Chains A and B, each alone.
Chain A
Amino acid sequence: MEDKTMNLTTSVSSDSEEPNCCPICLGPMLQESYLDKCFHKFCFNCISRWTKVVTGKHHSPLSSVKCPLCKTENFSIIFGFDGSCFQRQYVNEDFEDSFILSRAHRYRLQCYYTEQGILDDIFNVSRYWKSHKHYQPNSWLQSWLKREIQALIQEEDVDIIVHHIVGVINASLTRREQNYLIKTPEKKQEEEFNMAVSEAARPFLGARTERLVYEVQLFLASGLNIEAYDAVYIQRLGWSSPGVNTQASHSEVLDRTTVIPYLYIFDEDSDANE
């Protein structure tokens, strides 16, 4: 039988009087969640159960599910929106990035949930700019930044993004034109650096951009390699869990934990299951 359907949206709205009720259970919306393309709203449990029913019927893994209301193909369920952050569950979790965060990644992510500035007494960013240390190339920057981006956007393949941002960082750190050097005070150089890197990183990191730019400068100012830098940071964080040692920062083999691809992990969560 071919398309013999009526306009679902109108037929449903007349069935459900309450303005904020879920079209699947017809009850009040519990854990509001949205489909990522059409933004129709459902209870999280309702839409995720429906998604499982639909994907369970197919032998090959599906990457999208039709909206029960408008039939638009959607690829993920957005939920847990609290004004600034949200979580996302892909229709096909295997297909999408179920990137495995190592402990080192998780420690880095944790850093982004602690107040900025806990290391300011150890590493001095403004002295770094004043002393023109930024002309010395930092050979660890690339791998450090790769881990940083992986932790923040929770995807494994970030090479293009890293390459892009490192390019901007290096270009902006090493401007050596005579005029620029003499005429531009350190403060101005620092600001221009901030602007350039923010602009490069924002499309990928959104609200986390400013903090990343700060963390980049902190790392550069430390002049340390990744191992040593992690050791100092972890000590200050009080992240004394035995798994995070200098080994962990290099090999991501230790104690891997699968995470649902959240956009952000909450403070309480990251330590809870240890």
Chain B
Amino acid sequence: MQASRARLFKEFKEVQRERSADPDIQLVCDDSNIFKWTALIKGPSETPYEGGVFQLAFAVPEQYPLQPPQVRFLTKIFHPNVHFKTGEICLDILKNAWSPAWTLQSVCRAIIALMAHPEPDSPLNCDSGNLLRSGDVRGYQSMARMYTRLAAMPKKG
């Protein structure tokens, strides 16, 4: 068996076994393709994303884990390091700081950490980055909270 498949299968089993270990992350593998995963992550508390559930899409390359998975937000999110239209994420460990010891699960945790600690100096969403860089934390927070309500929370009936 190909190394990436074997490893993803290990991660799959691990996720099955520890389903309740991390209540903030729910990783699901595509039924027909082990290289496609989705994750539901909870917005960290005390951030404008609190209360929201965000969906991530993973595309795992054949060379995994020697190469990082490609991850993007499917749920709209207002965050300096996430592209507002495509959901692309700017995170060092998904690029040059990747290490094969990361797993899909730990990548999710890194993304949650990024949500709580944005890096406005390398923005993919300039509007959001500029608000933070100009010191308008309230402006950023209210925008982010609004989009969390609009996109990441169940519609109130």
Contacts and interface: CB of A to CB of B under 8 A. Distances in A.
Q: Do A and B bind each other?
A: yes
Interface of A: 1-6, 8, 11-12, 14-17, 23-27, 46, 49-50, 53, 66, 68-69, 71
Contacts of B21: 14
A4 B65 contact: no
A139 B117 CA distance: 72
Contacts of B95: 1
Contacts of B149: none
Contact of B105 (A1, A15, A50, A66): A15
Contacts of A11: 102-103, 105-106, 109
A1 B122 CA distance: 6
Nearest to A21: B10
B38 interface: no
Nearest to B104: A15
Contact of A26 (B7, B66, B93, B99): B7
Interface residues of B, number: 35
Given A1-B90, A4-B110, A8-B106, A23 B101 contact: yes
Contact of A2 (B66, B67, B92): B92
A15 B21 CA distance: 10
Contacts of A5: 92-93, 97, 110
Contacts of B113: 4, 6
The majority secondary structure among interface residues of chain A is: loop
Task: From A17, A24, A69, A71, name the one whose CB has the most chain B CB atoms within 10 angstroms.
Answer: A24
A84 B72 CA distance: 49
Contact of A24 (B91, B101, B105, B119): B101
Contacts of B50: none
Nearest to B21: A14
Contacts of B11: 15, 26
A24 B65 contact: yes
A8 B122 CA distance: 23
Nearest 5 A/B pairs, CB to CB: A26-B10, A11-B106, A68-B99, A68-B101, A23-B101
A6 B113 CA distance: 8
Task: From A1, A14, A17, A26, name the one whose CB has the most chain B CB atoms within 10 angstroms.
Answer: A1
B136 interface: no
